[in-house]
């Protein structure tokens, strides 16, 4: 599956307001924490999805997408590729228009299912790096 164009990614990042971060850690040295903190600093509301923590980045954490209230613009996935498939049903039920899998996270079958449900799928891309590249660091 091909990732969206830079213009499409730019539009996604500009229109998004709320990002559910699946696998967000409460440990500052973890990549998910750094990415979540960066996204918060750029004005996005972050919703941590992790059954092993109570909160991260000052936000209450939820054990699953289905347990978290509301819908999201982007579901950002920090999970091992073999675990992405189990997120697909909840991501489809959620009105998030985009499911963004971080660097190293590739699941072609999950991507096909999500795309068939009308989701925009980004795989093997860092949302922080793309945000900086497409929208600048400021």
CA distances from 137 to 8, 25, 113, 120 (A): 19, 23, 33, 24
The H or E element spanning position 9 is helix 6-15
127-135 helix and 6-15 helix, angle to the nearest 10 degrees: 100
CATH fit for domain 6-135, picks 3.40.50.720, 3.40.309.10, 3.30.70.20, 3.30.1510.10: 3.40.50.720
At 8-55, the pLDDT tens digits run 999 999 999 999 999 999 999 999 999 999 999 999 999 999 999 999
**Does the predicted TM-score (pTM) go above 0.85?**
yes
At 45-79, the pLDDT tens digits run 999 999 999 999 999 999 999 999 888 999 999 99
Ordered by start, the domain boundaries in the chain are 6-135
CA distance between the termini of the chain: 31
């Amino acid at each position: 599956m091909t990732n969206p164009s830079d213009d499409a990614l730019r539009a996604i990042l500009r229109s998004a307001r709320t990002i559910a971060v699946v696998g967000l850690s409460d440990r500052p040295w973890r990549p998910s924490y750094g990415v979540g903190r960066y996204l918060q600093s750029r004005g996005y509301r972050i919703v941590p999805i992790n059954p092993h923590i109570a909160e991260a980045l000052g936000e209450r954490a939820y054990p699953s997408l289905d347990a978290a209230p509301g819908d999201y613009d982007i579901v950002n996935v920090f999970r091992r590729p073999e675990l992405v498939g189990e997120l697909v049903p909840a991501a489809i039920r959620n009105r998030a228009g985009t499911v963004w899998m971080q660097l190293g996270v590739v699941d072609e079958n999950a991507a096909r299912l999500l795309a068939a449900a009308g989701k925009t799928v980004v795989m093997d891309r860092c949302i922080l790096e793309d945000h900086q590249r497409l929208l600048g660091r400021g």
